[in-house]
Structure formats: C-alpha cells, structure tokens
Structure 1
Amino acid sequence: MQANRAASKALCSLLSRLAGSDVYKNVIVEKGGADKLVNLSARFSDDPLVLQEVMSIITTLCLRSPENAARVIESGAGDLAIQTMKKFPQSDQLQRSSCFMIRNLVVRMQIAENRKILLNNGIEQLIRRAKQTHKNCKAAATDALRDLGLDNYNL
C-alpha cells in the first residue's frame, strides 16, 4: 500500500505540472482524468497528502475553464471537497485547498447549477468554519463564499 501511495503522489505531481497548460488540462479532463482523480481520492481518503495533491490538480483543471469545471463537478469533486472538509477540519492546508477548489468550480459558471449543488450539500457552513478556524483560509474562504453567490461573504 505504501508503494501505491508513493506512486499516486508522483502521478499527481506529474499531472499537476501538465495541468498548468490549458491544452493539457483540457486533454486530462476530456480523457476522464477528473473521474480518475476523484476515484484516487476515494482510495486514499485517509491520506491528507494525496488528497492535497488531487485537490490542487482539480483546482488547476478548472482554472479559467467553466467547461472543465462542469465536467469535474459531475465527477464528484464537490463531494470530495465536502468530505475532506468534514474529515480533516483541523488541517488548514486541506481546508484552504478545498476553498480554492470550490471557488474554481463555481467562479465562471454562467449557470448556477454547480453553486446550488454545493450549497444544498452544506458547503457554506464548512467554508465559514474554515474561515473562522484557520487564519490562512480567510482569503480563500471569502473568495469561495463570494463566488458561490452569497451576499454576506465578508462575515
């Protein structure tokens, strides 16, 4: 299992670098990469380092790409953020990464469907808790709340 963790982290590191390119990030999503990343996170749901890497990649895959964000949310990335925030409330890095990922999942969406799904599943309370609990989450949480369409995002 340890070898699988090391291989998973190495794969995530490589994908993270590739996802920095708009061309590659689109190919990753088109070839089912988001589904595979969410599956990987389920397999290593107790490993904060793997989860951190997966969320970082997903954040990058959705950056300035509403099409990718729509596909990624269908893969279960919103559930990944919610589950991670619930499971690791004391991990400031995972909380911050979740906020960044949520923001990129909803920021450029013309249709509010992603926002509704996440809000109906309780993401607002989790983001507010992260914002209050962890100093380094404040800006990321504020941005996520704003881009979720909430009026009182500065509270």
Structure 2
Amino acid sequence: MVCFFYFRITALAGNDDVKRQLVKSGIVPIIVSLLTRYSSNPTASTLTLKCVAALTLREQGHSKEFLENGAPEAIVECLKIHPDVASVQKNGCWAIRNMVARCREYNSKFHELGIQSILDRSYDKFGKEFGFDVKSALRDLECEVKLDEQWTGKGVQMQQ
C-alpha cells in the first residue's frame, strides 16, 4: 500500500500543475516525515527520495518548502544510512540536485551536513553506474567536481 502511495505521488508530480496542487495541499511535511521515519528502510528511502526529486524539479518554491521542513537533514541521513544501496544514492542525488539547481543559496545547508564527502564516496562506489548524476549534484552544490577528459584529440592532424 505504501509503495502505491509513492508511485502515485511520483507519477502525479510529472504534471507541473498537479505537482503545484500537491505541494499547496500540504504534502511536503508529510513526505519529509516519511523520509525521516522510514530512513532505515532502503525501499522506502528510495521511493521517498524519488518523490522529493519529482516535486522539486523546476520548482524553486517547492525546494524552499522542502528546505524549511528539514529535507536536507533527512536526505543526508538516508545517504549515510544506505551507502551501499545504489537506488538510495541515485535518488538522493536527484533530490539534492533538483532542490539546489535553481536555489544555490540552499547549498550552504547541504555543505553544513557534509554532503561533499558523502557524494564523493557515492561516486567512488557507483561512478560507473550513475556517475553523471553524482557529478550533477556536486556541480549544482558548487563543489569541486573531477571531470574526466573523454577525448583528447591526440593522433589526428588537421589539414590546412
């Protein structure tokens, strides 16, 4: 039943008008409460982080509401509790990125919570699977990001 709730919220949040209505209806404190209460459950954490990511996508006001309701602490706690669960780490990156992408002033809260070292560890463990997502979160948090040079252009000469 709980999984159905998460799937419905995430699916409904795909529509921007519905997403705005969900947030207006007071769902943010409920989502943060669920994330805090069930943080030890990797499935619940994964699904709740996915809801946070969906509800904050392209919505600066929603990000502010999540921040004011304690989402950064809950997100970071989930990432700390489940360092070996790829789905928690990936959805946590999405939630963080969506919260700070349009609101860089919220970065400081995540930095206070030590997010860079947590995401660096996540990249070391899951970089091949979803390294781009981790780097996107780090970039939007204005952290130091190690970029890989994928093409150097060596070995080819240009003709004039």
Q: Tell me the TM-score normalised to structure 2 length.
A: 0.86
Paired residue for 1:123, among 100, 115, 119? 115
Q: How many residue pairs were aligned?
A: 146
2:151 paired residue number: none
SS at match of 1:10: helix
Greater helix share, structure number:
1
Do the aligned partners of 2:28 and 2:66 also contact (CA within 8 Å) in 1? yes
The answer to whether structure 1 residue 30 and structure 2 residue 9 are counterparts is no
Within 5 A, what are the aligned runs for 1:132-151? Answer: 132-134=124-126, 135-150=128-143
Alpha-carbon distance in 1 for matches of 2:146, 2:95: 19
Alpha-carbon distance in 2 for matches of 1:113, 1:24: 26
Do the aligned partners of 2:35 and 2:75 also contact (CA within 8 Å) in 1? no
Paired residue for 1:68, among 62, 66, 69? 62
SS at match of 1:124: helix
Q: Percent identity of the aligned residues? A: 26
Q: CA RMSD in A?
A: 1.3
Unmatched tracts of structure 2, length 5 or more = 148-160
Do the aligned partners of 2:40 and 2:78 also contact (CA within 8 Å) in 1? no
- 1:45-79 CA-to-partner distances (Å, cap 9, x unmatched) read 22211111111111011111111111112122211
2:53 paired residue number: 59
Do the aligned partners of 2:94 and 2:133 also contact (CA within 8 Å) in 1? yes
